[in-house]
Structure formats: C-alpha cells, structure tokens
C-alpha cells in the first residue's frame, strides 16, 4: 500500500475517534447539569434543606424571666441566687429590727452615716441568704424612694436557728432649710430572693437629703452580710 494512502487512513481514524470522545463528554456534561448547580469557582453549591421545628421544643420569649433578664418589680430584691429554695431564708421566717450600731444615726449630722437593719431567723432550721435586699423608703404622704445598691459583691450568709444577718442603709440627712427633703415614715424591706415584704417604722425622725433622682446618690443599700460584733 502506498505510504500516502496509509497516512490518510490513519488520520481519518484519529479524527473519528476524537469526535466520538467529544460527543461522549458533551453527553456526560448535560446529564450532570440536571443534578446539581455549581458556584462561580466550579464547586458544587450547597442547597439548604428546610428545617422543621421540633413540636416538643418550646420557644423562649425575649421577656421570659428564664432567659436571665432582670425582673421589673422594684420591690423585689436583687441577688445572685446561689442558695437553693430548700434552705433559702423566707420572709415569713425572718424578723427585722434596727440595730444600735454606733449608737444609731444623728439626724443633725451633715455627713454620710449608717442605719443598720438586723434580720433574725425565727425558724427552727438553718437557712441561707445571699444578695441585696430591696429597700423602699415611704413618706406619710405616699411618696416612695427605691434605694440603689452598692457595687459590693454579695457573699452567702448562713443563719442558724435564732441566728442573725445584717445590711446597712447609708444615707445623707437633710440639715439645711433650703434642702430638698424626703422624710421617711416607713421602710419596706424585701429579703434577698423573696417577694414578700417586711415593714419597719423609721425611728430616727428628721429628713433625708432627697437625691431620689440622682445617678450617684449619697443614700443607698449594701448587701446582706454577717453582723459585726
């Protein structure tokens, strides 16, 4: 067979084989495009599957107290509750009284001073409290003042049967005629982690310097602590 004829037949077979390979490739590409999309980089894009909520799971409302948001009850005490409800000091087993700490306040003194409240466990078993009491001052005319709290870190206090804990109300007395005055007649106390109140009469007379609208008032309440001897 002449050399030119053999070369011509070889080239014809090569072209035919290449055409068959190209056609097969085009067929595979078309089938693949029906099953998945590709992103700009040529990688398969992820198709999100619908998520069906579990009917046994309850949604948490943003205002639900369980999400840790503070409660809006101004008379509810504020506390980091590390005491269990089983041995927490309940309001109905506590008795409140004023202490004669440092002889009691002098309402003629123009500097900061302290009125101390003692909480006694009247129950037959030990109990624990931790945090700040809620304290609201009330006048005889119905005016109220919810005291701010200090930045002190509360510590748990365990009260034996008959045992005592205490907290301090630091205040500024009104000693000038042109002061804006707040004359308390009663003090409403809510023990830490409780909602029931204990009411004491204000025994010191006089008036406080009214800073109820101040951001950093000179009158405030501290956490419950072991009573000082």
pLDDT of 101: 83
The DSSP code for 71 is P
pLDDT tier for residue 86 given thresholds of 50, 70 and 90:
low
| Range name among 49-63, 86-100, 104-118, 120-134 with the lowest pLDDT average | 49-63
pLDDT tier for residue 219 given thresholds of 50, 70 and 90:
very high
| Range name among 32-41, 179-188, 205-214 with the lowest pLDDT average | 32-41
pLDDT of 102: 82
For residues 71 and 157, the model is more confident at 157
* 195 and 147 Cβ atoms separated by less than 8 Å: no
pLDDT of 209: 98
Q: Dig out the tokens for 168 from the structure.
A: 């301090």
Q: Where are the domains of the chain?
A: 1-44, 77-221
Q: What is the mean pLDDT of the chain?
A: 75
Point out which residues pair with 192 in neighbouring strands: none
Which CATH code, of 3.40.720, 1.10.30, 2.60.40, 3.30.450, is assigned to 77-221? 2.60.40
What percentage of the chain has pLDDT greater than the value 70?
62
Biggest CA-to-CA distance, the chain: 134
């Amino acid at each position: 067979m002449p050399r030119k004829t053999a070369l011509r037949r070889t080239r014809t077979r090569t072209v035919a084989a290449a055409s068959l390979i190209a056609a097969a490739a085009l067929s595979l590409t078309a089938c693949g495009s029906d099953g998945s999309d590709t992103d700009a980089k040529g990688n398969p894009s992820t198709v999100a599957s619908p998520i069906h909520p579990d009917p046994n799971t309850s949604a948490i409302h943003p205002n639900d107290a369980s999400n840790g948001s503070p409660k809006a009850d101004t008379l509810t005490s504020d506390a980091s509750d590390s005491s269990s409800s089983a041995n927490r000091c309940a309001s109905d087993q506590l008795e409140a009284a004023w202490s004669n700490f440092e002889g009691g306040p002098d309402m003629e003194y123009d500097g900061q001073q302290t009125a101390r409240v003692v909480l006694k466990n009247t129950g037959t078993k030990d109990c624990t409290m931790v945090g700040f009491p809620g304290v609201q001052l009330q006048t005889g005319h119905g005016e109220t003042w919810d005291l701010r709290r200090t930045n002190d870190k509360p510590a748990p206090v365990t009260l034996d049967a008959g045992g005592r804990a205490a907290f301090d109300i630091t205040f500024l007395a009104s000693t000038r005629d042109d002061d804006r005055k707040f004359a308390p007649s009663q003090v409403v106390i809510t023990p830490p982690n409780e909602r029931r109140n204990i009411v004491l009469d204000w025994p010191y007379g006089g008036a406080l310097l009214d800073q109820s609208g101040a951001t950093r008032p000179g009158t405030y309440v501290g956490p419950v602590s072991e009573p000082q001897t």
